[in-house]
Amino acid sequence: MTFYIDNIRGADSNDGVTPQTPWKTLERAHVRTYEPGDAIRFRRGGRWEGMFYPAGSGTAEAPITVDAYSEEEAMPVIDGMGAAAAVCLYRVDHWTVRHLKCCNTAPGRAVRCGIMIEGRPRGITRGITISQCEITGVHGENRRQMPFYRSMYWNGGIYVTFPYKCTEGDHLEDILIEDNHIHDVLTSGIRVNQQEDSEKDIWHTGVVVRGNRIERTGADAIIVANCVAPLIEHNRCYDAGALGTKEDTFLIAGVWVCATKDALIQYNEVARTRLFDNDGTAFDTDWGVSGTTVFQYNYTHENEGGFWLDCTAYNRNPDCKGNILRGNVSVNDRRCLTQYSSGIDTVFSENRFIQTKGAVEICNQGTGKSHRYQQNTFAFRHLPVTGWQQAVYDGNFYESGNENADDSGARRCAGDGISLAEAFTTLDGQEEQFGLRFSR
């Protein structure tokens, strides 16, 4: 059955099953336990305050859907008004939520979300899709030093979590976060984790974060944890940390993973991530990862802390094989290409590192000795601040005058009288030229 909700024309005494007889309130919508194939439709242009907290589960063949209706242009708005979330899918299966605008306004900061998904503690919670929603005005928590479970890591514009520790039989499966616009939130943009976050449990499967636009957050843009082979692709992440401060937020990165196995991060654009005390990079491989983490065909620019953060050895997982960063284009990422060198093997191949605005370090707060550069292009206007350091170099291309004597196979970039770094000042509108396909 399809149920309609209209906060202006509706009445909770209606049956709710036609656009002419809609319910009015979230409270009425909570009375029913929904069944496979049911649909809940919020009228466009409407507004509700409080948390939408539905019950019941769909099936893979007949999911329960939440969507908008009517010919009006504005998406329906749900404002949590300080609740845990504006929309909460709590221990349910096979739900799809589309075309809602979710806020969570409150006078002060606390752990709050726009949309929250929480799995059940026993068994597998499956089949949740959040698509084409707008999440903004989430007055959540962006303070790192708050007590555990009350700090910035426990909320997000879209927050996906699991109670306690996940296991082979107790975890999340088939979670799709796709084509949402998340902006001006005090939280991180998208966060996937489990509540016992200090453990290196890696069990969530089928987690995909794709095609989202994330702008002006109070903390990180995307953090994914506790997942087997998560896919993070075609996202655009701008100004992560723009609403944070050094005193409160302290450390962030744009897009990063921890306690994942064989994570794949590709075709994303990450720009202008803020640098506070440290970090501030576009990407980060962090604690507890296993297998091989791959960053490929991404475009990064003007991230204040640099291109990539190497925390691979933090809480080292014995099954960790290393990192591969290939085919990426980094334009005027500041400070450095990398931060730290963990001692775990990392290969950089066929990337383009372009610097037109000043000199940077190859590796900040480390020597780079566990990093290998093969067939990359270093289009640097200036030599690196502290030289080429201790990374291994083999067959890379260099801007004329800034060659690396430690690269026995070094090749000079073709010039034709113009600095290669100058030629790559901007990539706007030129993504296809460099083989980058951000749209799907």
Q: Does domain 1-252 have CATH number 2.160.20?
A: yes
pLDDT of residue 316: 92
- Judge whether 279 and 253 are in contact, CB under 8 Å: yes
Tell me the pLDDT tens digit for each residue of 265-279. 999 999 999 999 999
CA distances in angstroms from 15 to 22, 24, 34, 37, 289, listed in the order given: 7, 11, 15, 18, 51
Phi then psi for residue 421, to 5 deg, are -60, -40
Q: Supply 306's token pair.
A: 């640099």
Confidence of residue 402 (pLDDT cuts 50, 70, 90): confident
Report how far residue 125's alpha carbon sits from residue 119's, in angstroms, rounded to the nearest whole number.
Answer: 5
What value does the mean pLDDT take over residues 111-135?
Answer: 98
Tell me the pLDDT tens digit for each residue of 32-81. 999 999 999 999 999 999 999 999 999 999 999 999 999 999 999 999 99
pLDDT of residue 197: 78
Radius of gyration of the chain (CA): 23
pLDDT of residue 237: 98
Burial class (CB in 10 A: 0-12, 13-18, 19+), 108: exposed
Tell me the pLDDT tens digit for each residue of 307-338. 999 999 999 999 999 999 999 999 999 999 99
Query: Residue 158 pLDDT > 80, yes or no?
Result: yes
Confidence of residue 200 (pLDDT cuts 50, 70, 90): confident
Task: Provide the CB-side half-sphere exposure for 357 (13 A, CA).
Answer: 13
Query: Residue 100 pLDDT > 60, yes or no?
Result: yes
Tell me the pLDDT tens digit for each residue of 331-369. 999 999 999 999 999 999 999 999 998 999 999 999 999
Confidence of residue 415 (pLDDT cuts 50, 70, 90): low
